[in-house]
Chains A and B, each alone.
Chain A
Amino acid sequence: MATPLLSVEHLSVSFGAGKHQQAAVRDISFHIQPGETVGVVGESGSGKSVTSLSIMGLLPPNGQIDDGRVLWQQQGGEVDLTQLPPRQLRQYRGKEMAMIFQEPMTSLNPVFTCGYQVAEAIRVHEKMGATAAKARVLELFKQVRLPDPERMYKSYPHELSGGQKQRVMIAMALSCQPRLLIADEPTTALDVTVQKAILELLQELKDEVQAAILFITHDLGVIGDIADRVLVMYQGQIVEQGTVSALFKQPQHPYTKGLLACRPPLSARVERLPTVSDFMEVSKDGAWSEKNNSIHTSTISKVQAQQRLTKLQENAPILSVSGLNTWFPKEKTWLGQPKSFVKAVQDVSFDVYPGETLGLVGESGCGKTTLGRTIMRLLPATSGSITFNGQDVLAAEGSALRALRKQVQIIFQDPYSSLNPRMPIGKAIQEPMAVHGLHGTADKRKQQTIQLLEQVGLRPEHYDRYPHEFSGGQRQRICIARALALQPRFIICDESVSALDVSVQAQVLNLLLDLQQTYNLTYIFISHDLSVVYFMADRIAVMQEGRIVEMGPGYEIYHDPKQPYTQQLIEAIPKGNVDAPTERHAE
């Protein structure tokens, strides 16, 4: 075996000191061969980013490496990067090892041009003049397939799209021909089609520049597409590592099994998603054990789905949207009259039937969120009509509008910012009931709230706790309980699971399905994640630039897309070979 480029040996990292000290990474060891791509998967808080930051020596001030070595192979032997003084470590950063971050939107400095920021890295390590550095940057921009490199050189970050910014970041990372490239969730913040392009670029560049890549992601599909080997991290430890095919075909650790199973598959529509907790049990002190029950997920066949849809459509639609337009003024004349518009929603028409789930997919900026909010009357419609249960939504005022809002609820994307941090969650759930004068007395409302908490999988004793005491998944459950408090008939889920880890996402999706059955709820399920929509929705509408370009039953959209845009979207979903294990259950 060749000497590894980088060996991490028994690395332990913690944050804080004394009583508040918290271990983030515990005794992990792995190595990367020159030119190899190693994927690291794990959920938020599993220590994957901390690992990469420790290698780069970029831990925040309150983080410290407690133990272990990070050995870097170079001419004349090994160096332990953790022992290097800052001045020497700086010569490795950007030169020998470079990093691409998750958020291209915020990772570039807004006040310098893209060209300057890339040239800066070159000039500091290669001792080059400004002209030579510029020539090199233009070459790099061409290499990462940025259009019009000269213009990009002079552009400020805000003038570029997210994908272009990430290309600039990649150009910056490659600028000094590093031997190790660390990519920390480089495509998570991007749309699927952009993600696909960036992943392809990374793969092509990998061969061109012959750098080893440490690729960190929570998305197993992405890992399957790009990595040679995979490390699975859980609670700061590496629980399993192996080649991609071995890991996907025969996962050993229950956590890996759970992680692989809980991602909604695309090959067939399953009835319920397995969750990590189906595979393993975690005790209070953090020890885990495998559960031995066999997990069987039944699938919904095309015929079953068709039958369900026909039955649903026997009723009159609960919501009819026709010719809906929502425009925002873009430019104004000096008198304040709008001169041109951003047409966020353009001529959109559809019906939703009681008990149905309509999926709404599209890339960022396609107008799906605006559409949802216009239906809620959170945004004013420019023209068109919305009828809910026979009532004109756009004309409703005062008490009629309040009555409508009681029946239509929304669950937002970010469970962290959509709960008031200073209000106990019991009160937060109860508040809408009090506003609408439900259940008579405060006592009854409290009883009702406790019942709701139990229904969404929380406990009565959670009633008096504050949002910060809950995890992301629990908070989203609280938001769901709050939406249910008014006993609505219709819920708009706006990217409601996008901020959650896959295993938590599976639990919340299952919960939403259960609630739909119990209360005969109707959903509009808005998401950029096509696999999640496929799992949830009876019918799917694909939005592009404010218009619905294609709409139909889920199986049609997925297996027989008519529009080129839909085809492109489905084509772009990273497939890896994650679906392999679930295929066994398919028809």
Chain B
Amino acid sequence: MGRFLLQRLSAGALVLLGVIFVIFALFLLINVDPAKMTLGQRSDIASQEAVRARLGLDKPWYGRMAMYVGQLSPIGVHPNDAATREELGGVALLSLGDQVVLLKWPYLGRSFQSDRRVGAMLLQAISNTLILSLAALTIALLLGLSLGMLAALRSGSWVDRLLVSLAALGVSIPSYFSAIVLSFVLGYVYHAYTGLNMIGSLYDLEGHIVWQNLILPALALGIRPVAVITQLTRSTMLDVLEQDYMRTAKAKGLSPTVVIVQHGLRNAVNPVITAVSGWLASLLAGAYFVEVIFNFKGLGYMTIKAIETYDFPVIMGSVLLGATLFVLINILVDVLYALFDPKIKMAG
């Protein structure tokens, strides 16, 4: 188990390095000058140069990349001056002349635009996105599992056929489309009945949570997972219902509920877990369209805004955060899978 985790984590670290390299490469290709973006059109060369130096843009790309990775790493060698120490924080482990070895949180730099720390910005955005995705997933699991089971148990009936068609529809609708439709119909046309807003963030201006602003984005984000989980649950459940051990369970004299829920669902749920976990990663990493459409200030919203202004540290930070989430969740899924299916052994 320990070895398994170690292997997966080191593979994950390699993935993250790859991501950093790709983003650096992309920025070289785009060839925009963030200094000009920051200062606007009417800036003079001298102040542009000053900004460049401050942002480290005067160094070659490999130098910048090395510096970025060094700052990102929880343990790294840094110049031992007050400004750096103040910016990076952490504990000094070892002093080497004018250099110092620091143990610290990964440092992601500051936004070119707002000069806020990227780490703090991400933390705030991800918490909003986390609430949104969890809400969407809860809806998806509750609805999907029960609808899927219903369809499987009534297979061949009109209920089944209706659910299967609805699920097919749900899978094929892109989230930006359903988001716009939901926002328009429930937030505008029927606003009087629903009391929901077309757009809105989780927090109002005074910082209070506005729970009703969660409903529509969560629904929009949850439609595809609901459809997929319904389909998956239906097909795995149909398969499980045919199995010999279900007959054994009935032959023991167990009640239909115990047979279906305990013996059946427990076996049918494995592929569903895989799907859900895949969704969780991609939901967290960016419900881009849905967040932008509803003006919901999560990770996706922040990333899109950063791309509009070429705010390199923010883009890099959010992409890295997304990649990290993917890696971690995939490892977690493997562990969960082994817990649910005793046949899977942790092996390298």
Interface residues of A (CB under 8 A from B): 56, 58, 86, 90-95, 98-99, 101, 103, 106-112, 117, 120-121, 124-125, 156, 158, 169, 172, 334
Contacts and interface: CB of A to CB of B under 8 A. Distances in A.
Given A111-B266, A124-B254, A334 B7 contact: yes
A58 B340 CA distance: 29
A140 to B, nearest CB: 14
A120 B252 contact: yes
21 contacts: A92-B253, A93-B251, A93-B252, A103-B244, A106-B243, A106-B245, A107-B244, A109-B249, A109-B267, A110-B267, A111-B266, A111-B267, A111-B340, A111-B342, A112-B266, A120-B252, A120-B254, A124-B253, A124-B254, A124-B255, A169-B248
A125 B249 contact: no
Interface of B: 7, 243-245, 247-256, 258, 263, 266-267, 340-343, 348
B54 to A, nearest CB: 45
A121 B266 contact: no
Contacts, number: 75
A93 B340 contact: no
A110 B342 contact: yes
From A58, A94, A109, A117, name the one whose CB has the most chain B CB atoms within 10 angstroms. Answer: A109
Contacts of B247: 58, 101, 107
From B7, B243, B247, B248, name the one whose CB has the most chain A CB atoms within 10 angstroms. Answer: B248
A132 to B, nearest CB: 17
B236 to A, nearest CB: 13
From B244, B263, B267, B343, name the one whose CB has the most chain A CB atoms within 10 angstroms. Answer: B244
B101 to A, nearest CB: 30
Given A111-B340, A111-B341, A158-B342, A121 B245 contact: no
Nearest to B243: A106
Contact of A94 (B252, B256, B258): B252
B343 A106 contact: no
Contacts of A95: 253
A107 B245 contact: yes
Given A106-B244, A109-B267, A158 B343 contact: yes
Contacts of B341: 110-111
Given A94-B253, A121-B253, A108 B340 contact: no
From A120, A158, A169, name the one whose CB has the most chain B CB atoms within 10 angstroms. Answer: A120
A101 B248 contact: yes
A565 to B, nearest CB: 31
A56 B251 contact: yes
Nearest to B254: A124
A112 B250 CA distance: 15
A99 B251 contact: yes
Contacts of A106: 243-245
A86 B244 CA distance: 20
Contact of B251 (A91, A98, A110, A156): A98
| A-B pairs with lowest CB-CB distance, top 5 | A94-B253, A93-B253, A94-B252, A106-B244, A109-B245
A103 B251 CA distance: 14
A330 to B, nearest CB: 11
Nearest to A92: B253
B252 A109 contact: no
Contacts of B244: 101, 103, 106-107
Contact of A172 (B252, B255, B258, B266): B252
Nearest to B242: A60
A58 B250 contact: yes
Contacts of A169: 248
A139 B340 CA distance: 28
A101 to B, nearest CB: 6
A334 B348 contact: yes
A93 B342 CA distance: 28
Contacts of A117: 248
Nearest to A159: B342
Given A94-B252, A172-B248, 7 more contacts: A56-B251, A93-B252, A95-B253, A107-B245, A109-B267, A124-B254, A125-B253
Contacts of B343: 110, 156, 158
A172 B251 CA distance: 10
Nearest to A332: B348
Nearest to A86: B256
A107 B248 contact: yes
